[in-house]
Amino acid sequence: MKGYLGVDVGSVTTKLALLDENEQLIASIYLRTQGNPVNMVKQGLREIQKQISPEVEISGVATTGSGRYLAGVLVGADLVKNEITTHAVAAMQHISDVQTIFEIGGQDSKIIIIRDGVVIDFGMNSVCAAGTGSFLEHQAERLNVKIEDFGGHALRSENPARIAGRCTVFAESDMIHKQQLGYPLDDIIYGLCQSLIRNYLNNVALGKQIQPRLVFQGGVAFNKGIIRAFNEVFDSEVYVPPHNELMGAIGAAILVHEEMEIKQNHHKSNFKGFGVSDVEFKTSSFICKACPNLCEISQISGNGKVLARWGGRCDMWERVPES
């Protein structure tokens, strides 16, 4: 049986999804990146291998996310795609009439506008943490509440506190002030959820033509308080697809399936095999002084051999010496 693997490496989480020839999910893993994407990709491959039978042949692999180039070198990717494309493709597979995708991850957030099955606009925020999952996790830790319980508290709120959400610093100080005033925990938590949505809509989604059907993806979509806050803003209900946390990886797998079908019988997958998880890789960087740009060049080595370099404004360092 042929399988198509999608690898989504983000700054907070690493996701792998394996689809069969009918693009049904047959194996997946969701891991914390923990600042070490190389080890998480290797661990993800080990976990995926455990979940599948020996009859499954990996016939294509694609990478996405902020660490897509690094992951592509590690696994031997046949395709490297940005997060906007992969999230859109996965959403359209589940909800053909989707027109707006809200995606909130651990460290960044996105909005994708789709019309007639084509992405026509998008917005991203990778600077301010106030509209991300890491912001909520940090506040949950401050409140001594498990992030998994955040949604339950938010749903019980009847009079949410108004929390400033334009900046993490202001939000935190405002939340502390509300605690000192004696606001109930449920109202503070739902107030935080509302502030995250306000920040998201006023920044990432500013000026975008938001039309139903609305789809909410990313790990934060597990939080029922955030879903409630979204639904209060729009007349149309926000839909959360199955496997919302894996949509980037699923989209990558769908795209590489299509790519390999086009190349059918003419191209074998570049996938390096599950044995990659046993190879020792080293990442490093240096400053190129060939011109005044002083680009920071990242490189990855395996078994003492430089496998790839990237990060320059020109392609000077992309030509890896053979050895």
Q: What are the pLDDT digits (tens) for 78-87?
A: 999 999 999 9
Average pLDDT, stretch 268-273? Answer: 90
Question: What was the pLDDT predicted at 42?
Answer: 93
How far apart are alpha carbons 253 and 187 in whole angstroms? 41
Average pLDDT, stretch 120-140? Answer: 75
Q: Which one-letter amino acid corresponds to residue 108? A: D
Query: Per-residue pLDDT for 114 more than 90?
Result: yes
Average pLDDT, stretch 169-174? Answer: 75
CA distances from 180 to 146, 162, 170, 183, 220 (A): 21, 14, 15, 8, 28
Task: Provide the Cα torsion 229, 230, 235, 238; round to 10°.
Answer: -130
Average pLDDT, stretch 153-180? Answer: 81
3-state secondary structure at position 217: strand
Question: What was the pLDDT predicted at 166?
Answer: 64
Question: What was the pLDDT predicted at 316?
Answer: 80
Signed CA dihedral, 95, 99, 100, 106: sign only: positive
Average pLDDT, stretch 28-39? Answer: 89
Residue 292 CB contacts under 8 Å (≥ 6 apart), including other chains = none
**Helix 224-233 × helix 185-203 angle, to 10°:** 60
Strands (E) across the chain are located at 2-9, 13-19, 25-32, 57-64, 79-80, 100-104, 109-115, 118-125, 214-217, 238-239, 281-287, 296-302, 305-310
Question: What was the pLDDT predicted at 100?
Answer: 97
Question: What was the pLDDT predicted at 167?
Answer: 63
- Residue ranges and CATH numbers for the domains of the chain are 2-86+248-278 (3.30.420.40), 96-240 (3.30.420.40), 280-323 (no CATH)
Work out whether strand 25-32 and strand 13-19 pair parallel, antiparallel, or are unpaired.
antiparallel
Least confident of 87-96, 111-120, 295-304: 295-304
Q: Which residue intervals of 76-209 are DSSP H helices?
A: 83-94, 133-142, 150-156, 168-180, 185-203
Q: To the nearest whole number, what is the mean pLDDT of the chain?
A: 87
Question: What was the pLDDT predicted at 176?
Answer: 82
Give the closest residue to 260 by CA, choosing from 125, 252, 299: 252
Question: What was the pLDDT predicted at 323?
Answer: 46
pTM of the model: 0.86
**Helix 247-262 × helix 83-94 angle, to 10°:** 90
Question: What was the pLDDT predicted at 50?
Answer: 94
pLDDT band with cut points at 50, 70 and 90 for residue 168? low
Query: Per-residue pLDDT for 258 more than 90?
Result: yes
